[in-house]
Amino acid sequence: MTKIVAVEVHDVRFPTSLSLDGSDAMNKDGDYSAAYVILRTDDVDGLRGHGFTFTIGRGNDICVLAAQRRAEPLVGRDLAEVTGDLGGIYRELGADSQLRWLGPEKGVEHLAMAAVMNAVWDLAAREAGVPLWQLLVGMSPAELVDVADLRYLSDVLTRDEALELLQEMAPGKASRLAELRATGYPCYTTSAGWLGYSDDKLRRLCSEAVEAGYGHVKLKVGASLEDDVRRLRIAREVLGPDRHLMIDANQVWDVPQAIEWVQALAGFRPLWIEEPTSPDDVLGHAAIRRAVAPIGVATGEHGMNRVLFKQLFQAGAIDFCQLDAARLASVNEVVAVYLMAKKFGVPVCPHAGGVGLCELVQHLSVFDYVAVSGSLEQRVTEYVDHLHEHFTDPCIVRDGHYLLPARPGYSAELKPDSVLEYSFPHGTYWSKGFPA
């Protein structure tokens, strides 16, 4: 009998603020970071689970502490009991009413829950010897509905409806999977358009994106309208009329300002405006969407939990759902959001980038196409080309498509050397006194 014998949580921070990678109108100088969980077992072959949540620097230590507290009940547990009831362990960890008070189901506590449960799912997939997407695709509709967190959702999706949705998609799973094996899953790049980049760098990166086969490029906007007009003109020029251009304001506007600003950029025909205002403002997003159509509204990277997504769907507030694999409470909550998105006919285009988010979402997108939505229409998953070198099983992108991950697990394992180097504040990088 294999047991979980220890939980380690590491505060790993990469000094991305030095190069302004990741700079936008709200977040000018993030140090991309992970509160990184390792679940150790007494398995003789060294079976472990790895998971994380993503932060942008200060406060990563707070998530580390929260993940340590949240993971405590896992220590000493029989592995088969945990991985054999992935809905049960999720509900057990989430049911601590004292910790629940600190949210509920939002903020630091929910990020920590994501980190811990991501490690549990990685462990389950490794134990099964398959990539996470394959574990999910192989589950029956009843098994999937058991792991999905449907609490507070029954006014839009009952358990029976969820079962029915999944059962209807059973035919064609094999052919959709074969299709993805051949082509990969479509993605877009945000690497071109960070706000801190010069016009020349923007032009060069847009050209490189076109050459690399991307049909979609995203730019950050919202700091200066004049700059945005100039930068969008450059991007549209390089992309030509047919490729898609998306814009992302990272929550800097109030609702009336968002409408005005986006209308001023409409001539560049953006596919979507992302995070135009507070991520909590369901009714605000709905108002913006009505005002800026046919430009779409996208949000979700700060979508705090499934109850928020339920309302975004109910209110007709978004055209694109950008769930985040390290902010929602792992696969249990992510599956629930995919099921609701299917019912409401909203395409899910997961948020990625950061540290390791691309590694996670590639699994989710495969699962969505094969088992839930069965559609690639208007679906494109984010890809940002940095920090992949720190992962033992980095994602691979070719011609604007994620190739299917092949190794067991959730692709969430950081290289031990990277953890040693970038642990904050005592790793070899930070202890040299580089600026935080």
Give residues 115-144 in contact with a copy of itself (rule: CB under 8 A).
none
291 part of the interface to a copy of itself, by CB under 8 A:
no
Which range, of 213-221, 301-309, 333-341, 369-377, touches a copy of itself by CB under 8 A? 301-309
- The residue behind tokens 């919202």 is 222
- The residue behind tokens 């405006």 is 273
Cβ distance to a copy of itself smaller for residue 10 or 379: 10
Which residue in the list 216, 218, 310, 351 is annotated as catalytic? 351
* 274 φ/ψ angles, rounded to the nearest 5 degrees: -105, 140
Q: Is 351 tagged catalytic?
A: yes
198 part of the interface to a copy of itself, by CB under 8 A:
no
> Could you tell me which of 115, 140, 121 has the C-alpha nearest to residue 60?
115
Q: How far is the CB of 387 from a copy of itself (least distance, A)?
A: 16
Cβ distance to a copy of itself smaller for residue 106 or 204: 106
Which residue in the list 220, 285, 310, 363 is annotated as catalytic? 220
Q: How many residues does the chain have?
A: 436
Which range, of 169-177, 237-245, 275-283, 415-423, touches a copy of itself by CB under 8 A? 275-283
Cβ distance to a copy of itself smaller for residue 66 or 358: 66
Contacts of 246 (CB under 8 A, 6+ apart): 188, 216, 217, 218, 219, 270, 271, 272, 274, 298
DSSP 266: G
Residue 348 CB-density burial (10 A; 0-12 exposed, 13-18 middle, 19+ buried) = buried
Q: Is 363 tagged catalytic?
A: no
386-to-46, 51, 64, 192 alpha-carbon distances in Å: 29, 18, 23, 12
SS3 content of the chain, % helix, strand, coil (to 5): 45, 15, 40
> Sign of the C-alpha dihedral, residues 279, 195, 418, 45?
positive
Out of 3, 40, 91, 106, the only residue in the binding site for a copy of itself (CB under 8 A) is 106
Helix locations, 31-172, DSSP H: 60-71, 79-83, 86-94, 97-100, 107-128, 132-137, 141-147, 159-168
> Could you tell me which of 307, 326, 333 has the C-alpha nearest to residue 86?
333
155 part of the interface to a copy of itself, by CB under 8 A:
yes
163 part of the interface to a copy of itself, by CB under 8 A:
no
Binding mask 339-378 for a copy of itself (x = CB under 8 A): ----------------------------------------
Q: How far is the CB of 392 from a copy of itself (least distance, A)?
A: 26
Cβ distance to a copy of itself smaller for residue 87 or 107: 107
> Which residues lie near a copy of itself (CB under 8 A)?
26-31, 55-59, 61-63, 65-66, 69, 96-111, 151-155, 251, 254-257, 277-284, 287, 302, 304-305, 307-308, 310-311, 314-315
Q: Where in the sequence numbering do the catalytic residues fall?
A: 220, 351
